[in-house]
Structure 1
Amino acid sequence: MSSVLEQLMEMGFTQARAEKALKFSGNKGLEEAMEWIIENDSGDEEKEGINGTTETETMDLPLSYKCDDCDKCFRNEDEVQVHSARTGHVNYSQCSDAVSSLTEDERREQMKKLQELLRAKKTQREEQERHEEIEREKKRRQQHKTLSSAKAKFEEDEVRRFVEQKKREKEEDRAYL
């Protein structure tokens, strides 16, 4: 392989595309081959071969991914990562089946279901928060009640000690007289 061909392939061009660029640029060099590629870049998935015949490049990327834990299909790796983060699932396989896009009606129906689910979760969360608030208030009242009774007992003991102290002092005063 020529060094120009290798350089083009290192830049990310397929071997067929690089060979074709070299052929049509007259093997003059890397710069001419790059110019030919830029001028003749069609951007289509189908590329012409060196002979002028068309060949389809096969993509190494799978059409979809499937979660082996819950059998749900995903269009791309981003959806897989989101699903993995949300559910903790880690077993995925590549599928050759393409995940079909939703029609407008299916999309509306799915949005409606999601909105209902969100409303239900919000209601449940609010109910849980109300229940927790009631429990916190009960606990606060119980603590206040316990604290009040302990304080009252302490004050009673304090008064009793004071009365006993005064009683002892009177008895001592009588003993000296």
Structure 2
Amino acid sequence: MSGDKQQLLAMGFEEARIDWALKATKRSGLQPAMDHLLNNSDNPVPSDSAQPEDVDSADEDSEELKIHVKKTGASEEPTANSIKCSECGKIFKSSATASFHAERSGHQEFEESTEEIKPLTEEEKKAKLADMRQKLAEKRALQSKIDAKETRANDVLRRKAGQDQDKIKEDMMIKEMHKEVDRKKREKIEDQKARAAIKAQIEADKRERAAKVAREKAIRDGEATPAAASAPAAAAAKPVTNSAENPQTRLQVRLSSGGAPLTKTFPSESTLVDVAEWIASENLAYNVDTVTFASTFPRKTFSRDEMRKSLKANGLTPSAVLNAS
């Protein structure tokens, strides 16, 4: 037995009219069947309204649910007009409605009754229909609230997932930026070291050429013997340490970061910027643009303008001790 038919039987409609309504509406649902029943309540039921699939359905349901209907032993007992539930006292018009009640309530004890169930009046039918519609509306409203709650929960989860993804992307971008900054710093330091090395090589070449020219001139002027002309270049280019006009200046640089002092001889025309490039190439903790120099005696800190002057112009020739910071 279909669920629509069981519900209509429970509402008190006659089984024949229910079969007629279900067949006429092609079993399209409970509401069309109810509308058909209400609209044709005064019309006779056609003889061919019963469908084969509904024949003996009430008996089958009754047998399947094992409903126990008690019968009295009196020989002249009046005809039974209804079935009564012995457990709750409800009266049903047919075994089909009793079976539906047994399925819903779990009751199993029933008995025949002479009580006749009166058909529903038009007002009662309309009241039942209104009550059912109200219950359906309440059920839909409750389901709508549940759906809305689930939708809000899903939206919260989606937003949280989106925020997590944004945070991951932001962290990755920050890491990439830090990597790029570190890479540029390394490139700048390597570039400074390369420039300092090239400049030092150029100065060494200049000193070697100057020494060679001096030796050749001495030979031409008879101021040196051939043996002296073949002496090492370092001995020929040895600076005079007592003269401020010496072409070379020997510097000892003490680093504020600690460690042994750095010593190197520069052409007196070199600037303190050249010295800063050499310091940066020797110690990566120093930067050409920020390193500062100070002399110990007389005590003096060289300005950025003085950094661009020659060692000779800054009074550091022929030798000096500087503090680098």
TM-score by length of 2: 0.29
Larger radius of gyration: 2
Q: Which is helix-richer, 1 or 2?
A: 1
TM-score by length of 1: 0.47
